[in-house]
Each structure stands twice: as C-alpha cells, then as structure tokens.
Amino acid sequence: MLVVMDARADRSAIDHVIDTIEKMGLKATPIPGAQRVAIGITGNRGTVDPTGLENLPGVLEIIPVSAPYKLVSREMREAKSIVSIGGVPVGGSKVVVVAGPCAVESEEQTLEIARRVAAAGATLFRGGAYKPRTSPYSFQGLGLAGLKILAKAREETGLPIVTEVLDTETAEEVAEYADCLQVGARNMQNFSLLKKVGRLRKPVLLKRGMSATIEEFLLSAEYILAEGNDQVVLCERGVRTFADHTRNTLDLSSIPAVQRISHLPIMADPSHGTGKRHKVLPLSRAAVAVGADGLLIEVHHKPETALSDGPQALLPEQFADLMNQVRAVAVVMGRSA
Ligand code: PEP
Ligand code: MN
C-alpha cells in the first residue's frame, strides 16, 4: 500500500504518518517525489486496513499496491530511478558500459585491460576478485589481492569499479574497495546475501538468475530495497533454454517487461548471455535498441589464456568497435553512450 501525501504536507505530518504505520507493526519507506512525498508500506502479510491512515493530516490518498513487489514497482515510484555508481549515473539518458575481464588474474593483465577499455570509452570497470565457478578446481579468484588490483585500476583510469560479492562473509571487505557490488546469477536468490547488501549502502548490480522469472528477479531486488538500499541496477544475463548454439539465451524481451513494472535501471550482459565472442557485438546493438540502460561486456587482451570466460571475451580493438556501434544505436534511441 502507498500513502500519497498532499504537496503541502510538512515534515511533522509525514513523520506522524510514518509513526502511525510503525505502530501498526509495519514498515514505512518515504519516497520523495518532485511534487509530493509518498510513503510505501511493507511488512504486511495480507491487506492493510487503511482506516487508521486515511484521515491523518496531510494524507491525500491511499493506493493499494497489487503486485507482490512493492518498493521496486512503478506504482511506488513512477519516474525511472537513476543510480549513481561512483558518480556515474545509471538509468539516465547515457547508456553506461561496464567493461573489463571476467576475473582479475594479475596486476599486469588488469591494468592493461583497464587502460584499453577506458581509452575506448567504457564508463565503469569490472573484474571478479571472488569468482563463482561451477567446478571447485577452477580458478576461484585472487580475493583481497584482486580487490587491491581493482583499486589500482580505478586510481589509474578514474573508472569506478563493479565487482562481485560472493558471500556474506566477504561482503564488507568487497564493499571497502568496490563502487558497486555485483550479485551474480547464481546468488540471485541467496536471501541472506541480498539482505546483507541491502544494509551495506553501496550500489548493487543484481543479475538475473539463469532460471528466474521476472517476478522472482524483482522480488530479489525487493529484498535489497526492503533493507533500505534503493541503489539497485538490474542486469539481464541470459537464461537456460534448449538452445545449443549459445551458452545462455539472452532474453532481451525481459528489458521492456521489467521497465514496464519497475523504476529500477536495467542493463544487459551479452557476454554471459551468449558465451560466444562473435555474438556479443550484435546482441549489444540489440540490447541498446530495446532500451537497456547499460551493457556489461567482458574484454581480455589475451582471451586464449584467460583463466575464466575466455571464449566470450572481446579483444580490446573489438571492444572499441562495439563502443562506436553502440554509440550510433544510442543516438537513434535519443540517448548517448
Ligand atoms: C560474471 O559477471 O563474471 C558472472 C559470473 O556473471 P553471472 O553471475 O551472470 O554468471
Ligand atoms: Mn564471466
């Protein structure tokens, strides 16, 4: 349920409504808007009886929110949200490109790739220090040493860092170094991790689980907002289907589907979404054409020796070409890149 306050309602009227909601054993989340403040109510199992609220001073109207997700929905906040990642706005008119290797492998490898993607015009740098790997025998990431290398890359290029947080134990350590915490596909429904990043007050890049419905995806984002962190960017990274020409099926139709329901920005990841280098460029153009707010692209200067996801990594010069083509598509969409 959403309590919409009158445009003239003052702070004390708003506080009084919040207080009343909390006394009902529910959670109140103020949502400031251009004209007026709305207060989202969550924590209820069934419908909330509005009679105690509708006559309070300053209350304009009470809107029932029908969807299971509340804070992430357009019913709660009509305008698109803009999330700032280290000063880079995601969800505005500029299409944001997050680029970098799958994994931080060494300082030399990371800095080389960081320089090349920065020169080509990437806006954020990525690289995993903690890697979720299917096999326990695969490279698991450099951990803390990897985070320190990422901090060096930021120092040198000025690009804010997006890196994965694998578990609650290392979340605070990752948050110390990262500008944005990536929650990967395999962790999309790790509810204790979602709650943890919800309390960390750092932007979160939440990737869609490989078999998650849109409702499950948005409910996972809801966990983060329910803890008080509304700096969430969603990311479509492909789902499992019967297709065998591609690692995953990049579900680009999820982008307008999510945008219709939610105010949160959403990016596309054609690297994991296809798993094949030659498909990354065409799917990147398509993702911008369907309205993605950003792209996540894996780049490696020596993909044949990469410790993870080499087959889907673009060479730096291919990435520069991608940037040029994406810029052209962005212009058609009334945006820039
Ligand atoms: C990654 O971004 O390197 C990654 C592991 O992605 P996903 O969680 O989408 O598989
Ligand atoms: Mn990867």
**Cα 61 from Cα 90, distance rounded (Å):** 31
Which protein residue's CA is at the shortest distance from atom 8 of ligand 1?
184
**Which ligand is nearest the CA of 298, by number?**
2
pTM for this model (two decimals): 0.90
Compute, in angstroms, the gap from residue 184 CA to the centroid of ligand 1. Answer: 5
- Confidence at residue 175, expressed as pLDDT on a 0 to 100 scale: 98
Give the pLDDT means over successive 10-residue stretches in the chain (337 positions): 93 96 93 88 83 93 85 91 98 98 98 98 98 96 98 98 98 98 98 98 97 97 96 98 96 98 98 98 98 98 98 98 98 96
Ligand 1 pocket residues where CB is under 6 Å: 102, 128, 132, 184-186, 207, 237, 272
Distances 54 to 10, 72, 101, 159, 247 between C-alpha atoms, Å: 16, 23, 53, 48, 52
- Confidence at residue 45, expressed as pLDDT on a 0 to 100 scale: 78
The whole-angstrom distance between residue 124's C-alpha and the CA centroid of its chain comes to 13
- Confidence at residue 61, expressed as pLDDT on a 0 to 100 scale: 92
- Confidence at residue 66, expressed as pLDDT on a 0 to 100 scale: 73
Compute, in angstroms, the gap from residue 131 CA to the centroid of ligand 1. Answer: 8
